A and B are shown apart, each in its own frame.
Chain A
């Protein structure tokens, strides 16, 4: 994933699966990036064959291979997966699907387990922002962005359709067929249709064990994870068109699922009965066209989300609630090239969100958000700069509250310098914030309408070294050091007396010092043999400065490492290809951490690490692969009391013509 666009081109040559082979041509990337200038802040990317080689079933699984990222994973097939980049919190990340942000005004979290990799062509992670000048204001606004890009139709010479069917089956009772049909209607119009179905029992064995101080077993218990069953269906259709000096696309997306929520494993409780039903629909379109030095991009989206949560457990509070969200979004981005070195852009976005819930005393909030961005890039020899300022104006309307207005200006500055051709240096500063969510503000009883936005400030310096040695060896190494500050962090605090009543407050403060290192190399070892190797390492010291009075050096939270952030984490991916064969090995390491910022023994969590192996074979129309994940059957939790699966397997058959 450390490879840039240039390297991806060489990877494409080795990818032989017929339908996928053309997916990652260099020129295709250029068509969709608005400029062919190099990025000031490089992305971490997983593209095409590289992504396919990893043992991952959802975007959430794949994203673990990026540096600086911590995934909160509740385990199992349908378990919630949210991403936290550089410890700023999941709500600071923007997740974009085919160029437009996925929203969740209710709780601000995008569940990455819902996004299958079946039709995904690339995943990119940018710290700060993508340094593309023609982008929507929302692209500029988040503290970091993840771009999920689905496959775009590409046709071999003389061919005007692609059809692919695949079937995945394996542990947890997973049966997962999918179907893809792409059609070329004319030189200017292609279409894509993709559908997927997933069923799983979600059952897996897990084991908890404790030892005595002499190492002998104190207790050791194995059980089957219950209530993790899942059924999901996805349907996606898209049109891809070309204009004179431009492109456009439009798509519809529908996802529905019915799943059990397995719950925490605690003493005497090995099974829960909570369930969730989801319907997610959106339709979106994008148009990009240039007139000489002027370029225009239009984006629009309509989304409708339905969530039904049921807790029918007669041993706890009965909950049966339905939430409906509506979102409408439009963006106009303008880019003008003043000269070859100097570009300017102005962007305006408008978004509407509404939440409807059958909760008692619910206030039916609606939010209007106006965002604008003014940006400029400048390039002078080996020096590049990008600066922008974003204005956000939001107001909420509810049944009982007057409009809550928020108006903020946030600047960002990105610089890069290339002293010699192999080395690029970079630095950036960025301010951003996240709006309190509808739950934070209006959730019956716990919401707090006087919440302020939560701020993140980032400082980053970094360098890239990139070199090709002869025809057969390419190396790229990156290192970034950063300091982030999160102020006004929205946290739940206990309220009043009685039954666990909470209130959302702007009291948190976190300071993060981190280093991300990544290295990637590709060898064309012998004739027909190719080896790719990537390494990622992250160091983070993310300290809680919320409560100055809780400052006992041995046990206080003041200055303690925040919950679930390891000091050390990293990954290794090795990929070996020989003619029709592919062998992929991946290793993920998450070091010791604490589940609370009081870094005491009772809150300590042991490191965990998993080894995954995947073997693939393909001929022109058929590809087969087998993956074995968590090879050494490590028993671990990512989130306290949510056991993760041990060793598991999956086989994949794909047939395309």
Chain B
């Protein structure tokens, strides 16, 4: 039996997981004509743990390549005076212009931090915010909380918010479909994946096209039910994942040409999330099987030029991941990072695999490890910086 003590702000927990390495791309030519970020040097990456809803346990971890150290839970130490820490359910993470942006869904805010120190700069209040992308001086964030449609069946449209990164103010909003999730910016337009995720059995199935200049919705591209992620490759193609309707229509990956704004192809894999690196699209999928009463997990790599699956299963050493939940590929070493969210309430695990699919290391994370953002020095001419 013991007395109650004051609870201390968490000090980060440091674990040495690998030999330190310096990740520098010695090739001198500037990255041109590429939409994906290309780095001169990669220092590390941040990992955002979502934390289960209501737990307020979204936390930020950092991996430092030069020290080979994984540092768990850095936000509280960097910002010891922020009440109730980072917040509830982190949903997206990105670095832009020397700042780290964490979209914290159930805390209804975007946390803006210094990308070197994770010290808080400010926050942008956007209710039920989902995903973030950048263009010029603005950040664009999807949100589920647009205008309510008065009808028998309660309906609420979503929107994209335009945030001035200098003032951290929402300067404009553009109404799109129901429950918009991922978004991508290409060729002066924002492509927004509408999910309709709150409308079981009546999902959205379109990609909204929003003009960046006028910030108004131009048209909808019909794709498939319950769209989730949308990302642009280096060949002017958008890769869009559909969750399917969980009944008749299976989850699938679609390819849309930006030039024609039409679906040009689809790949018959259930994609939960994917990561683009050069011409490779690394994906994993978890699909519930009512036969085995378990998740059926698939991993693979798609060549975005040929649209062919070039690898089925990039884990080659038999490592079993219970609930893959986040993926990233090291832009220089091509190591693959996969997170395991397990049962959503227990602490997760981050795995690092070498390009041959052998496990290099693994480390305990926070709850529901999900979103990874690399920190480094990008090459000039890269659209991302």
Point out residues on A near B: beta carbons under 8 Å.
208-213, 215, 218-221, 263-269, 314-318, 320, 360-361, 444-445, 448, 450, 491, 493-501, 503, 505, 547, 549-550, 552, 555, 557, 568, 570, 589, 591-592, 595-598, 600-602, 606-609, 634, 636, 640-641
Contacts and interface: CB of A to CB of B under 8 A. Distances in A.
16 contacts: A208-B83, A209-B6, A221-B84, A265-B84, A267-B86, A318-B154, A320-B154, A495-B288, A496-B295, A498-B197, A503-B288, A555-B347, A596-B345, A602-B73, A602-B366, A607-B2
Contacts of B323: 494
B220 to A, nearest CB: 21
A636 B84 contact: no
Q: Which of A360, A500, A555, A595 has the most CB of B within 10 A?
A: A500
A596 B73 contact: no
Contacts of A318: 154, 156, 198
B128 interface: yes
B237 interface: no
Contacts of A570: 1
B148 interface: yes
Nearest to A604: B7
Contacts of B200: 360-361, 444-445
Contacts of A264: 54-56, 88
Q: Which of A210, A267, A444 has the most CB of B within 10 A?
A: A267
B54 A266 contact: yes
Describe B's contact surface by its main secondary structure: loop
B381 interface: no
A601 B228 CA distance: 34
B83 A315 contact: no
A212 B80 contact: yes
Nearest to B5: A606
A641 B88 CA distance: 11
Interface in B62-112: 73, 76, 80-88, 104, 106-109
Contacts of B11: 213
Given A210-B6, A315-B145, A499-B195, 20 more contacts: A208-B83, A211-B7, A215-B6, A218-B81, A219-B9, A219-B82, A220-B83, A221-B83, A266-B106, A314-B145, A315-B144, A493-B343, A498-B228, A499-B243, A505-B293, A555-B364, A591-B1, A598-B346, A606-B5, A640-B55
Given A215-B6, A496-B288, A266 B145 contact: no
A209 B200 CA distance: 40
B57 interface: yes
A493 B341 CA distance: 11
A526 B341 CA distance: 65
B361 interface: no
B226 interface: yes
Contacts of A597: 346
B148 A497 contact: no
B2 A269 contact: no
A505 B86 CA distance: 32
B251 A497 contact: yes
B255 to A, nearest CB: 19
Interface in B310-355: 320, 323, 341-347
A550 B8 CA distance: 27
Contacts of A598: 346-347
A224 to B, nearest CB: 15
A266 B107 contact: yes
A557 B342 CA distance: 11
B343 A494 contact: yes
B80 A636 contact: no
